[in-house]
Amino acid sequence: MNPNHLPAVASWLRWGSAVLMFAAAVTAGCGGSVGVGGTGAYSSGPVEGFGSIFVGGIEFEDTTASVFDDDGAPSTRSALRLGMGTEVDSGAIGGTADAPTATATTIRVVADVVGLAHAIDAANGTLTVFDQAVKVDSLTVFDAALPNGLNSVADGAALRVHGALDAAAGVYKATRIEPVAAPLMAYKVRGTVKDLDTAARTFRIGGALFSYTGTQPLLVPDAFVRVNASTTPVAGRWVVVGVVAGARTLPDVDQARLRGPVTAYTSGTSFSVNGQPVDARNANFTGPPGSVLLGVSVVVDGAVQSGVLVARTVRLDDQGGVQGNFKLKGAIESVDPATQTLVLKGLSVYYGSNGVQYSGGSAAQLAVNRNIEVVGQLRANGTQLDARKISFLN
């Protein structure tokens, strides 16, 4: 994978140093990647870890949550995996300054591209899926069925890609790649409408050219949509099966925070973040003038009114902190002392690296059913965590 750290993807992992700021904001009525309105909250982003589930720096208790897949069909908590894109509805944010918590009521999985893989370049960390350019890096999680990361992906393989769209570069920066059962019933992409021709009834998203019939009111230039298409092109065009909004309409909330790339840009005061519209006319900006542009990752705080985030502050997402850390918490499922690996929350963890910090125990005490918390980084294959710290919880 490409070891270069890409800011738009890295932003969702930068919560470590921002948790204290986030929790203080929650106490005052604000949230990080979260909208808080009376008794509830909203958070979106890839799954950063499991305790129950960590999204946007918040640990969500998920035992009573309803889970839905990216088609809106009921799913299960056991289907959730590291790096999956999610939207979480929850109760009010609580917990402590360094460990904000909430109880999730609904978890929705949000994938960006589903289709067949081609033009695989493992050396440069690139491929195309459903005619969409996809980039992988050191933060991309690969499913265990792809043990060698991108080197395990065969031409024509059916894949699901979770990530973030860099609309300026026209590239999806993957946070997770996983195989899907073939044959696929439909190909899917979430992105920005380009080259709309209402006479010919065609448009593009990335490298894919689509044709459609009937009335499609959501198809307007630069709209952020999710498109399902038949798997057999006709005259070089993918035939649209359905079009829905690419971003969920947020409820009115008094305090909200969006964190992610600018996916649509009209001006420095009118833009969208991950498809969510932002009105920043009265906002205070932090950073050089003119720095908010298409593809740039930002953090926006404000209030949601009629589906628009009315911003109070806008800043570049340039917080520091330890990059690339994932957190897993739970009971050890298996241990192999010979290879110095264990399995936690379905993910292999290597604990043989020099300098692993232990708290409340030692490597000799790692055993099945012991409750631990692991903080670590992905290994080069993207399927195994390299432990940096292991804490015993009982």
Query: What value does the mean pLDDT take over residues 102-112?
Result: 93
Burial class (CB in 10 A: 0-12, 13-18, 19+), 394: exposed
Residue 389 has pLDDT above 80, yes or no: yes
Residue 392 has pLDDT above 60, yes or no: yes
* Residue 145: CB atoms within 10 Å: 9
189 touches 130 (CB < 8 A): yes
Alpha-carbon span 74 to 335, nearest angstrom: 32
Residues of the chain with CATH 2.40.50.320: 326-392
Least confident of 66-80, 254-268, 380-394: 254-268
Q: Which token pair is 314? A: 């806008």
Q: Which residue has the higher pLDDT, 197 or 43?
A: 197
What kind of fold does domain 187-245 have according to CATH?
Answer: OB fold (Dihydrolipoamide Acetyltransferase, E2P) (2.40.50)
pLDDT tens string 260-290: 789 889 999 999 988 889 999 999 998 888 8
Query: What value does the mean pLDDT take over residues 316-322?
Result: 51
Alpha-carbon span 142 to 30, nearest angstrom: 33
Backbone angles phi, psi at 12, to 5 degrees: -75, -10
Least confident of 64-68, 89-93, 137-141: 89-93
When pLDDT is cut at 50, 70 and 90, the band that residue 250 belongs to is: confident
Q: Which token pair is 148? A: 């060698």
What kind of fold does domain 326-392 have according to CATH?
Answer: OB fold (Dihydrolipoamide Acetyltransferase, E2P) (2.40.50)
Q: Alpha carbon 213 to chain centroid distance? A: 32
3-state secondary structure at position 126: strand
